Amino acid sequence: MQLLPTGRAEFKTAMLAIVKDSPALSAKIASGKLGRDEVVKIVEEYADFRRTNPLH
């Protein structure tokens, strides 16, 4: 079972859709600073963002 897209562009598109409300994290993904190999870091950073910026 594949949970994440395998291609770089597809992964980037999927992650940007998920973290779109986090400008800093979106910028890191869009620039290529964070990618598929750093998926755990992406999830951790997004979780931290959500804790300090709860949904309304």
C-alpha to C-alpha distance for 15 and 25, rounded to whole angstroms: 10
Full pLDDT tens readout for the chain, 56 residues = 778 888 999 999 999 999 999 999 999 999 999 999 999 999 999 999 999 998 86
Residues 6+ apart with CB under 8 A from 31: none
- Report pLDDT for 2: 76
- Residue labelled with tokens 């994290």: 25
Q: Is the pTM of this model over 0.85?
A: yes
Contact (CB, 8 A) for 55 and 22: no
Q: How far apart are CA 14 and CA 29, in angstroms?
A: 10
Given this model, what pLDDT does residue 55 score?
Answer: 80
